[in-house]
Copies of this chain bind each other. A is one copy, B any other.
Amino acid sequence: MRNKRIGKRTMKMQNSPTIISTASIVGPKEGKGPLKDKFDVILSDDLYGEKTWELAESKMIQTALETAVQKVEKQLDDIEFLFGGDLINQIFPASFAARALGIPFCGIYGACSTMALGMCLSSIVVDGGFADYALNGTSSHYCTAERQFRFPLELGNQKPMTAQWTVTGAGSALISSSGEGPKVKYITIGKVVDKGIEDGNNMGAAMAPAAVDTIYSYFEDTKDDPKSFDLIATGDLGQLGKKITADLLRQRGIDIFDVYTDCGLEIFDLEQQDVHCGGSGCGCSATVFASYIYPKLVNKEFKKVMLVSTGALLSPTSTLQKQTIPCIAHAVVIESE
């Protein structure tokens, strides 16, 4: 069959899956950053009325998912698939949100690549005729991530300058077989890439080779021209990972410098907000896509965008067992029409 595969691993959509809606919700720090005027909801505190940060994160992803559906006046009952996940053990926030929403649920885990992974799978079920509406979303929370992956916040631990700041936020996208909006044209599913980095405080460098692998594969498969893009946005490589990615791609003959950004540099002001190398977390590319990139696709300021969310597939257990950090990146190419 292979009629949707171009080259080795890029899939061409044939039935124009359309992103009809997105939504974003962020914490107070993100709400003071450069995108402060673009989010749907900015929380005044990190707990969102809940007793724990994990329950707050779950409520955030639930809000992001519900808001995307409400914006286009659909009902939850209209949605055939929900793809969701997050960084937390057993994807507790996404699972609990799925319970509240009652949509058939496929739990996914791609660490911070989850937004693009969910968009890839949503596009597949819509393009393949399995759904008229597929919803995806993901979240991260500075406080849940820090205490799970690093140290108790109460410790006041300092971080090296290569570290990034986990975004407190959730974003979602609703993809449909009909309706108005930018279309998903291509997806490229990532392979796990591990260049031997062990330092959990240098995720940008760890993830950059995975981003390079996926972006390079897309261009190799499609023979597309980087210059045809208005924006290529990686997920959360931060300042250091972004530079590594652009340099490595240039070495392989793909020059994306002019159109390249990283969502971790868009969401925070690195000069003012003390976030070291920039933002990270599933919520980083999710909220930047939902609040900043998507509206510009809708109003045709951007005609063609690649979103490449990047994930580090480590666990605290794998780190304690002295393993290196496997990483992955998934790409979605979207065009306004």
Contact = CB atoms under 8 A, between A and B. Distances in A.
Interface string A107-132: 11111000001001100111111111
Interface residues of A, number: 67
B177 A104 contact: no
Contacts of A121: 106, 121
B105 A191 contact: yes
A193 B105 CA distance: 11
A191 B79 CA distance: 12
Contact of A90 (B92, B107, B111, B189): B111
A293 interface: no
Contacts of A130: 4-5, 11, 124, 128
Contact of A96 (B55, B81, B126, B323): B323
Contacts of A194: 99
Given A81-B189, A90-B318, A106-B108, 6 more contacts: A11-B130, A87-B90, A92-B313, A96-B318, A106-B121, A107-B117
9 contacts: A4-B129, A51-B321, A87-B90, A90-B111, A90-B314, A103-B191, A107-B108, A109-B109, A128-B128
